[in-house]
């Protein structure tokens, strides 16, 4: 991923245009049993059709150099869930607050469990 996450637009799964923008991000560290070293949670919004979703970018640094593994997915979360997360991310930089971190992790868990995903390309 580039160092400027806001500079690139991705493919919108709804209108199929390259207009999906990352409008907010929150970076989380890993938990000991987590296979990912870095989790970035995102609010995605399409500049074309207005579609909103929760995005998750994950990176693994372990192993051989230059052999980074990453995964970038979006969740078709209900609008109120996305809105709730957006409000939470607005409270950054207070994200060091452990309770907020736990809350954000819940969105990742819920996303993996309940929502359909799409690849962010
Ligand atoms: Zn769209």
* CA 109 to ligand 1 centroid distance, Å: 25
Give the pLDDT band of residue 112 (cuts 50, 70, 90): confident
Q: How far is the CA of 20 from the centre of ligand 1 (A)?
A: 6
CA of 17 to the centre of ligand 1 (A): 6
Per residue in 97-107, pLDDT (tens digit) is 778 778 888 88
Q: Find all residues with CB under 8 Å of 61, minimum gap 6, and list them.
A: 37, 38, 68
Q: How far, in Å, is the centroid of ligand 1 from the Cα of 49? A: 4
Instruction: Determine contact, residues 118/73, Cβ cutoff 8 Å.
Output: yes
Mean pLDDT of 51-70: 82
| Nearest alpha carbon to residue 22 among 31, 14, 11, 32 | 11
d(CA 22, CA 56): 11
Query: How would residue 2 be classed by pLDDT, with cut points 50, 70 and 90?
Result: very low
For 17-37, the pLDDT digits (tens) are 999 999 999 887 666 556 788
Instruction: Count Cβ atoms within 10 A of the Cβ of residue 44 and give its class: 0-12 exposed, 13-18 middle, 19 or more buried.
Output: buried
């Amino acid at each position: 991923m580039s160092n400027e996450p806001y500079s690139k637009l991705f493919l919108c799964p709804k209108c199929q245009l390259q207009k999906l923008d990352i409008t907010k991000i929150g970076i989380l560290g890993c938990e000991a049993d987590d296979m990912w070293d870095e989790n970035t949670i995102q609010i995605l919004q399409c500049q074309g059709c207005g579609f909103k979703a929760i995005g998750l970018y994950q990176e693994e640094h372990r192993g051989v150099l230059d052999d980074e593994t990453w995964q970038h997915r979006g969740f078709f979360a209900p609008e109120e869930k996305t809105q709730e997360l957006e409000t939470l991310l607005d409270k950054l930089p207070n994200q060091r607050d452990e309770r907020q971190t736990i809350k954000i992790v819940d969105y990742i868990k819920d996303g993996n469990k309940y929502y359909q995903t799409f690849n962010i390309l």
